[in-house]
Amino acid sequence: MSARAGIVVTGTEVLTGRVADRNGPWLADRLLELGVELAHITICGDRPTDIESQLRFLAAEGVDLIITSGGLGPTADDLTVETVARFCGRDIVLDEVLEARIAEIIKPMMARYSGPGAPDFATVRAANRKQAMVPAGATILDPVGTAPGVVVPGTPTVMVLPGPPRELQPMWHKAVATPAVQQAIAGRTHYAQQMIRMFGLPESGLADTLRHAQETIPGFHRLEITTCLRRGELEIVTRYEPDAAEAYRQLLELLRERHAGAIFSEDGSQIDDLVASALAGRQIATAESCTAGLLAGRLADPPGASGYLAGGVVSYSNEAKVELLGVDAALIAEHGAVSEPVAEAMAAGALRRFGADTAVAITGIAGPGGGTPDKPVGTVCFCIALGDGRKITRTTRLPGERADVRERSTTVAMHLLYRALSNG
């Protein structure tokens, strides 16, 4: 069996659902990449007895590595390091070098606070001294924020990481490189991992293909396949030992043969990044009704978006469509706001208004009200218009509640846009 790990996510705010757990899934993916089997993810509050019970549970399960996230701050309820030290049978000691390092991090932060009631530097430094208390013999991971991480060697080895993902994620690679963690995961299995992304294929269609693959591909049983429907797209992650590469090659050929039109990425690239690359040298404008700016937000997410995103219009009302995009009021009266002619007019208006060479328009009924027998809730019309006169216009019916319809509309729009840009 491969090396095994367990994850303990701490924090009462996570346990109660006020804050969503982003660290558990992210760490699970990183362990998978390393070839380390994940035994359990547990979530507990900030009480030391609860944290320690989770540590003892995972140790009893025989894991080689335990990863904790959260509870490394300067406040009284941040007790993870102290609890881990007790679990590992180690004293807590003050690391003076680390204390000085934390003080240097805090100093520029203090410049933001002034005026009556603002704490002085000495008071804040004393409060943060707690973060420099570490288990004896532990390897210290330099802070990304103000909280250092630690790796405590032993059986199992315990990796203690901060709670904020922006601090945890950069610290992960340093933690994995420590001798204690490398020794703990030395028995891991070395896997290859591939991801294929599809759009426009129902899960049932993929399931039928995988059943066929199981019956026809030698060594298929050696492929560990995980499928996930996310944002209306299918992700197929396949993990396998290197000597099973031929089975994966045959699976990929079968997927290409049966679903070539649905595959948009064979290397895990996301549609947002593919669209961003395809927009290089272009200027795009958006005209959104039911999505109210969600698509423009997605287009703006990748770094460098200012190079191609000209702007967008949220034309939620009919009046906004007429006044901001130049849509003919008679067109709306004849066909309705949710119609292909209006979507095309919105896209044309966006091209004109921003002097762009690419435009995307979305108009639809997100619900829960507003639907009719002819245009039920979930009906959404799209238009991709290019400056050379080419355009793609589609109407689709999207499932789900209001938030689902709005989010999936942006996914449909991104794929239509990528198709338009990829066809010359």
Q: What is the pLDDT of residue 108?
A: 74
Q: Where in the chain is the domain with CATH 3.90.950.20?
A: 272-423
Please name the CATH architecture into which domain 272-423 falls. Alpha-Beta Complex (3.90)
Helix locations, 192-304, DSSP H: 203-216, 245-259, 271-278, 294-300
Residue ranges in the chain modelled with pLDDT below 70: 1, 109-128, 424
**Tokens linked to 398:** 């999207």
As a CATH number, domain 192-269 is 3.30.70.2860
pLDDT tens profile 287-299: 999 999 999 999 9
Q: What is the pLDDT of residue 167?
A: 96
For residue 230, count other CB atoms closer than 10 A to its CB: 9
Query: How much of the chain, in percent, has pLDDT values that exceed 90?
Result: 84
Q: Which CATH superfamily is domain 4-185 in?
A: MoaB/Mog-like domain (3.40.980.10)
Mean pLDDT of the chain: 94
Write down the residue that tokens 């945890």 correspond to. 168
Residues 6+ apart with CB under 8 A from 16: none
Classify each residue of 173-209 as buried b or exposed e, where b means 16 or more C-beta atoms within 10 Å of its C-beta: eebbebebbeebbeebeebeebbbbbbebeeeebeeb
Q: What is the pLDDT of residue 74?
A: 82
Q: What is the pLDDT of residue 36?
A: 94
Q: Where in the chain is the domain with CATH 3.40.980.10?
A: 4-185
DSSP secondary structure letter of residue 131: G
Q: What is the pLDDT of residue 107?
A: 76
